Amino acid sequence: MRPVPVRLRTERQEKPGALKKLKGNKLIRHYHVLLKRKEQLKQRKANPKEIQKVQSELDMLGIDAYQKASQNGQNKRRGGDSSVILVEYVKSQKYPKTVYPIDLLEIGCVSIDNKCSTSKLFRVDRIDLHSTHPLIKQQDILERTPSEGMYGCISCSLVLNFAPPETRGDILLHCTRLLKPPTEQMKSLFFLVLPAPCVLNSRYMSLETISKMMEDLGLFTVYTKTTAKIVYLIYEYRKEPKSVIVWKKKELFKGATRNNFFIPLNTTEATRRPVNKDEQ
Ligand X SMILES: C[S@@+](CC[C@H](N)C(=O)[O-])C[C@H]1O[C@@H](n2cnc3c(N)ncnc32)[C@H](O)[C@@H]1O
- Contact residues toward ligand X (CB under 6 A) are 67, 70, 73-74, 82, 107-108, 110, 127-130, 140-142, 157-159, 162-163, 171, 193
Of residues 186 and 190, the one with the C-beta less far from ligand X: 190
The helix or strand, by DSSP H or E, that contains position 265, with its residue range, turns out to be strand 265-266
Of residues 79 and 182, the one with the C-beta less far from ligand X: 79
Smallest gap from Cβ 70 to ligand X, in A, equals 4
Identify whether the C-beta of residue 122 lies closer than 8 Å to the C-beta of residue 105: no
Is 64 annotated in a binding site? The answer is no
DSSP code of residue 46: -
Smallest gap from Cβ 67 to ligand X, in A, equals 5
Smallest gap from Cβ 193 to ligand X, in A, equals 6
What is the three-class DSSP state of 113? coil
Query: Rounded to the nearest 10 degrees, what angle do helices 24-43 and 48-61 cross at?
Result: 160
Smallest gap from Cβ 98 to ligand X, in A, equals 29
- H-assigned helices in the chain: 6-10, 16-21, 24-43, 48-61, 63-73, 83-92, 115-118, 165-177, 196-200, 207-216
Asked whether the CA dihedral 67, 70, 72, 74 is positive or negative, the reply is: negative
Identify whether the C-beta of residue 100 lies closer than 8 Å to the C-beta of residue 76: no
Of residues 102 and 159, the one with the C-beta less far from ligand X: 159
Residue 143 burial (CB count, 10 A): 11
Smallest gap from Cβ 62 to ligand X, in A, equals 13
Of residues 193 and 217, the one with the C-beta less far from ligand X: 193
Is 108 annotated in a binding site? The answer is yes
Of residues 87 and 193, the one with the C-beta less far from ligand X: 193
Known binding-site residue numbers for S-adenosyl-L-methionine? 108, 128
Known binding-site residue numbers? 108, 128
